[in-house]
């Protein structure tokens, strides 16, 4: 998988002067566009679109400083329809406009070329299982919140605090299948997975109840039948939990014949009595990868 991903990275470098279709990159990597975006983001630490933009403007910056082409020629060469649009994008990455950079020989920011390799440390093992699950529903309360990659999400924390104990008890009573009890469900995320983009967050339970039997004052998410990869870990809270999702995409997916598919991600956390430790289970919708 990583070899094919690196071939896609080479394709990016060879086509920085042209529009880059993510579907072409996914075909080179022999995976879906959905999984390619997610895997890249997890491995690189930034969205694919942002990496391409930074690489394009890094190379364009070198041409600006070289002075062999006019600024408008450089702008058009790298896909900008006007000098103004190029100047805005250039300034956003380099902190200085292209004209000033050429006149003063300013130091510019550089996005290095990326390639990927898998480092096996052997210091820990990841417990997982593959589950075929019939269609089910998530029932609970929903909020649209910004995505936060590390630490506590303030919007989610505030939302949960607003769910009273009476409502929480009624929601919990609807749980009738795995993963049991209250779960955190993330759905409808932006494909870029960029910090600050929004997602639907459900604080609820997994249930087989018909939609008509779920109380009207609760939100419901219908989830079709499919395959799920279930990852479990235990450790210091919240550190171990924060690394679980990252490790799934940076270690497990590149080493196993599966890819992620569209669908909600379900997280069940059981903190210890003192809140310093926790057991966690992360459910990711998957499908067999192409051979």
3-state helix, strand, coil split of the chain in percent (to 5) is 40, 25, 35
Domain boundaries, the chain: 2-104, 127-288
Nearest C-alpha neighbor of 267 from the set 232, 218, 217, 226: 232
Q: Residue holding tokens 């997280």?
A: 267
d(CA 197, CA 284): 20
Which helix (H) or strand (E) segment holds residue 112: the answer is none
Q: 10-30 pLDDT, tens per residue?
A: 999 999 999 999 999 999 999
Which pLDDT score is estimated for 96?
93
d(CA 20, CA 125): 37
Class of domain 127-288: alpha beta
The topology (CATH level 3) of 2-104 is Arc Repressor Mutant, subunit A (1.10.10)
* pTM higher than the cut 0.75: yes
Average pLDDT score over the chain: 89
Q: 144-162 pLDDT, tens per residue?
A: 999 887 777 899 999 999 9
d(CA 74, CA 194): 28
Q: 80-134 pLDDT, tens per residue?
A: 999 999 999 999 999 999 999 999 888 898 888 888 876 555 444 567 899 999 9
d(CA 89, CA 86): 5
């Amino acid at each position: 998988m990583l070899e094919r991903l690196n071939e896609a990275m080479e394709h990016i470098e060879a086509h920085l002067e042209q529009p880059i279709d993510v579907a072409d990159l996914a075909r080179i990597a022999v995976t879906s566009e959905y999984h390619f975006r997610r895997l890249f983001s997890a491995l690189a630490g930034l969205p694919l679109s942002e990496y391409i933009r930074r690489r394009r403007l890094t190379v364009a910056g070198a041409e600006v400083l070289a002075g062999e082409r006019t600024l408008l020629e450089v702008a058009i060469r790298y896909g900008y329809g006007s000098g103004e649009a190029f100047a805005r994008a250039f300034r956003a990455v380099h902190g200085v406009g292209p004209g000033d950079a050429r006149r003063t020989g300013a130091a510019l920011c550089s996005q290095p070329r990326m390639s990927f390799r898998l480092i096996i440390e052997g210091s820990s093992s990841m417990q997982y299982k593959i589950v075929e699950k019939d269609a089910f529903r998530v029932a609970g309360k929903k909020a649209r919140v910004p995505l936060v990659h590390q630490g506590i999400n303030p919007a989610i924390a505030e939302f949960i605090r607003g769910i009273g104990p009476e409502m929480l008890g009624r929601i919990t009573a609807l749980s009738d299948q795995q993963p049991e009890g209250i779960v955190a469900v993330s759905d409808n995320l932006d494909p870029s997975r960029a910090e600050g983009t929004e997602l639907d967050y459900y604080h609820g339970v997994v249930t087989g109840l018909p939609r008509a039997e779920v109380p009207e004052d609760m939100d419901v998410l219908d989830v079709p039948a499919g395959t799920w990869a279930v990852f479990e870990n235990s450790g210091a809270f919240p550190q171990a939990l924060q690394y679980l999702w990252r490790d799934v995409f940076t270690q497990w997916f590149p080493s196993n014949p599966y890819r992620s598919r569209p669908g909600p991600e379900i997280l069940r956390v059981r903190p210890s009595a003192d809140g310093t430790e926790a057991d966690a289970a992360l459910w990711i919708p998957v499908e067999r990868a192409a051979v």
